[in-house]
Amino acid sequence: MAFPDGFLWGAATAAYQIEGSPLADGAGASIWHRFCHTPGLVHGGDTGDVACDHYRRWPEDIALMRRLGLQSYRFSIAWGRVLPQGTGTANSAGLDFYERLVDQLLEAGIAPNATLYHWDLPAALDDRGGWLNRDSADWFAEYADLVFRRLDGRVKMWTTLNEPWVVMDGGYLSGALAPGHRNLFEAPIVAHNLLRAHGKAVQAYRASGAHRIGLVVNLEPKYPASDAPQDRVATRRAHAYMNRHFMDPVFRGRYDAVLVRMFGAAWPAFPASDLDLIRTPIDFLGINYYTRNVVRDDAGRFPLPVERPVQRGATYTETGWEVFPQGLLDTLNWVRTRYGNPPVYITENGAAFDDPPVAQGGAVHDALRTDYLRQHLRVLHRAIAEGCDLRGYYAWSLLDNLEWAHGYSKRFGLVHVDYRNQRRTLKDSGAWYARVIASNGQCL
Ligand SMILES: OC[C@H]1NNC[C@@H](O)[C@@H]1O
Ligand SMILES: [Ca+2]
């Protein structure tokens, strides 16, 4: 099933998950450096101190990308390498790292797709309130402007934020992610400042950039566990809380009423002018899709009265996510119909499975991952046939890497990384994906 000519095939990573050397060459610590070095917060006490040592092995990793035949590579820029204190004096060694990376990607015929913020806020800014401080939008715009002026023209696809919902929910509500807050009143403030930061960065790009900029959101379709009214209501609330939460302000200039009602007194009165900033038009939307949610009302929990009943007969990944490719099609059609069919890239899709060890002769027979990817790519082909303006796909992830609070225990890579010696091994799924790219999806 061939994909349209020009469909962009890539793979994705993020700075703190792969680079290592978090404080090298003048870089400033991030909230994830702090979080990992706080005992008990990350599986096995794992940290990003070494990770995949990509900060030093990036030429080898670009060679891997060439072997896969990637047409594009989505990576993130570590804010603290570029601005160690988050604002003020730039660190030229940090900018140089990304400049060299970008130049070599272009040499290799691989289009860079740079994410400005993939969760690694400079710790110095968290000390000033971080995303709780309205000034965070200005800090982010200053950082974005610096990077645009240095790299635009070579980087022709930018995204401002990766998964602002996860930043809010994980970092400020559940506390599972940096900076580890658990405060219902902080969540809407953080979400709003992230969106303002996005808007200001897009405005900065319009002033100096000549190419394309977008936003990356994680979307997870919600399905009621039964037709019972309380399950349907709970499903609508879960949908508002995760999916409409960021999409509505960005594409429709207002927050979803269900969401506002859910938070009640915890929902601040935001000035209308903020929403005008947030809705600054973007050139494309990045969607990260992994799984769906089946929602059953669980009135005991707040603010999200939901529980996720296990689906009999379903396959689950190592991160507990149901394999449900239909959810990707439903999500893409929802975006098409509710938000005016914006240009979309799947900026992340993949799965962690309990891969077999590297076999003799160096092979990883990760059949479950190949099957997961194949099922989801087939759905994309249907989405295009049904009218979705789908421009490309990035597998998560190029490399096994630091899966945040899971540490290195969850492997998403097309390429296996042996953390004892940093040896990379192309998995069967990677070799298969290379064939998909070479045939523009014909072999699916
Ligand atoms: O959980 C898998 C991925 N999800 N999106 C954000 C990435 O940083 C994660 O590794
Ligand atoms: Ca804090």
Local confidence band at 432 (pLDDT 50, 70, 90 cut-offs): very high
Residue nearest atom 8 of ligand 1, based on CA coordinates: 14
Per-residue pLDDT tens over the stretch 404-431: 999 999 999 999 999 999 999 999 999 9
Q: Hey, whose CA ends up nearest to atom 9 of ligand 1?
A: 403
* Atom number in ligand 1 closest to CA 404: 10
Ligand 1 pocket member 19 (CB < 6 A) = no
- Global pTM reads 0.98
Residue 230 pLDDT more than 70? yes
- pLDDT band, residue 191 (cuts 50/70/90): very high
Residue 224 has pLDDT above 70, yes or no: yes
220 lines ligand 1 (CB under 6 A): no
Strands (E), 36-156: 72-76, 111-117
Could you report the per-residue pLDDT of 345-358, keeping only the tens digit for each? 999 999 999 999 99
User: Residue 186 C-alpha to ligand 1 middle, in angstroms?
Assistant: 23
Atom of ligand 1 nearest to the CA of 403: 10
DSSP state of 169: I
Q: Which amino acid is at 247?
A: M
Residues that are catalytic? 163, 348
Q: Is 396 in the pocket of ligand 1 (CB under 6 A)?
A: yes
Instruction: Calculate the average pLDDT of the chain.
Output: 97
CB-count exposure of residue 35 (10 Å: 0-12, 13-18, 19+): buried
| The pLDDT value given to residue 303 | 65
* 428-438 and 54-68 helices, crossing angle to 10°: 50
Determine the residue of 396, 397, 406 to mutate for testing ligand 1's pocket, defined as the one with the most ligand atoms within 8 A of the Cβ atom.
396
Q: Residue 27: what pLDDT?
A: 98
**Mutation to probe ligand 1, out of 165, 288, 372 (largest number of atoms < 8 A from CB):** 288
Which residues 6+ apart lie within 8 Å of 389 measured at CB?
Answer: 336, 341, 342, 343, 344
Q: How far is the CA of 403 from the centre of ligand 1 (A)?
A: 7
Give 29-44 pLDDT, tens digit per residue: 999 999 999 999 999 9
User: Residues with Cβ < 8 Å from 36, sequence gap 6 or more?
Assistant: 42, 46, 47, 48, 49
Sheet of strand 293-297: strand arrangement: 222-224, 293-297, 306-307
Contact 101, 58 (CB under 8 A): yes
